[in-house]
Amino acid sequence: MSRNTLFDKVWELHKVASLPGGADQIFIGLHLIHEVTSPQAFGALKDKNLKVKFPQRTIATVDHIVPTDNQSRPFKDNLAEEMINTLEKNCIENEIKFFNIGSGNQGIVHVIAPELGLTQPGMTIACGDSHTSTHGAFGSIAFGIGTSQVRDVLASQTIAMNKLKVRQIWCENKLSNGVFAKDLVLYIIQKLGVKAGVGYAYEFAGPAISNLSMEERMTICNMSIEGGARCGYINPDEKTFKYIKNKLFSPKNEDWNKAINWWKSLKSDKNAIYDDVFEIDASNIEPTVTWGITPAQSIGINQKIPTKIEIDPNDKFIAQEAYDYMDFKPGQLIKNTPIDVCFIGSCTNGRLSDLRVAAKVVKHGKVAKNVKAFVVPGSEKVAKEAKKEGLDKIFQDAGFQWREPGCSMCLAMNSDKLIGNQISASSSNRNFKGRQGSPNGRTLLMSPAMVAAAAISGKVCDVREFI
């Protein structure tokens, strides 16, 4: 088993007890909730006449089902309105801090927590959303949990879990121009597979990781779950501390200096032992696009969709399923595939830096005829900052729709959906069958810059031609 890694240190610091059967009871330092997975959990508390144990450790917002085209209340969608009302009432009754629409801090839960300084090194973080792994970019251990576990955290501030193994993913060198964090993590998942991380925490490390901005690191950790890992994290460094400093909930004055010293002590030791180490050369990666129905089914922009002979025997069944569903032929180039919808947003790539890099590409032209393109900022803060920089105007002048913050087409629980067998270029995290709202809709995952390039050209293309 691993020893002296950041994961081991944080786990032991938060272990309340060892439970029969081998699991540990783990204290949760920060609990994030939203409108979709919390109603049943609060209902379960009421049924048992229980109160929220530590309401000050729970933070709420709305993101999943909220509309992005018109957020005037009441919502046209009755279910969305009901869910928001329920969360509002539950937060009032339990004295939980709630960042509602119009607060200036509403947005996708995995976007607002870091930008508010709620996410800090050494924390355990839980949320009823699989992409809670995002927060690992700060050196925290962050888990997605189910509704029953949301109930448990509300009632006891703990969850029961088996300790994970730790795999270090060492990324040598640095990314080339036009290649982004999204490309890096898709490449990693393609090499390891979607099941390789089961039972593991992923520690991302090496020069290529150190070179990434904090928002890029969030993209990496966000998608660790797509490789099967329960969580992904990066050791905190000076970039981490600089990002957190002076945030609304960050430590202040003397507490800041104490926090820095403690955060530094959490870093994986030089002699740390890992259960497994996987090494890649980041300089070899090119802009990457998914072609199939899992994030592991991806290729470089100039590569061909693998043939049956090239596919691992264990993956041939799902490869055939992907060929049929996506209507792609083995050996076909992914480049020049026509696109119907272009979506920039999500907890993976809806931050200010994502919008900035996409806007640089958009400056080169107009949205292609017959392409629907839209941008959904990850939070009200992101939207405000983007407007201050004129990014919204750049997108709108090019023919993009500018939307209000929310999860949007990432999971299509709202009105943002694909129609029929439309094919989308998406900066989100999942390309499963029907993921974006249509049972026949097809999703190609790529970086925001690549989505922007696809919007202008009307097809999958190499973003390096635009920058």
Total domain count for the chain?
3
Q: Mark which of 161, 189, 209 sits at the end of a domain.
A: 161
Instruction: Mark whether 293 and 394 lie in a shared domain.
Output: yes
Instruction: Mark whether 400 and 422 lie in a shared domain.
Output: yes
Instruction: Mark whether 427 and 306 lie in a shared domain.
Output: yes
CATH number at residue 436: 3.30.499.10
> Is 48 part of a structural domain of the chain?
yes
Instruction: Mark whether 213 and 105 lie in a shared domain.
Output: no
Instruction: Mark whether 179 and 90 lie in a shared domain.
Output: no
Cα(327)–Cα(333) distance, rounded to whole angstroms? 13
Instruction: Mark whether 34 and 178 lie in a shared domain.
Output: no
> Is 244 part of a structural domain of the chain?
no
Instruction: Mark whether 203 and 115 lie in a shared domain.
Output: no
Please give the residue range of the domain that contains residue 269: 165-237+262-284
> Is 62 part of a structural domain of the chain?
yes
**pLDDT (tens place) for every residue of the chain, 467 residues total:** 999 999 999 999 999 999 999 999 999 999 999 999 999 999 999 999 999 999 999 999 999 999 999 999 999 999 999 999 999 999 999 999 999 999 999 999 999 999 999 999 999 999 999 999 999 999 999 999 999 999 999 999 999 999 999 999 999 999 999 999 999 999 999 999 999 999 999 999 999 999 999 999 999 999 999 999 999 999 999 999 999 999 999 999 999 999 999 999 999 999 999 999 999 999 999 999 999 999 999 999 999 999 999 999 999 999 999 999 999 999 999 999 999 999 999 999 999 999 999 999 999 899 999 999 999 999 999 999 999 999 999 999 999 999 999 999 999 999 999 999 999 999 999 999 999 999 999 999 999 999 999 999 999 999 999 98
Instruction: Mark whether 280 and 327 lie in a shared domain.
Output: no
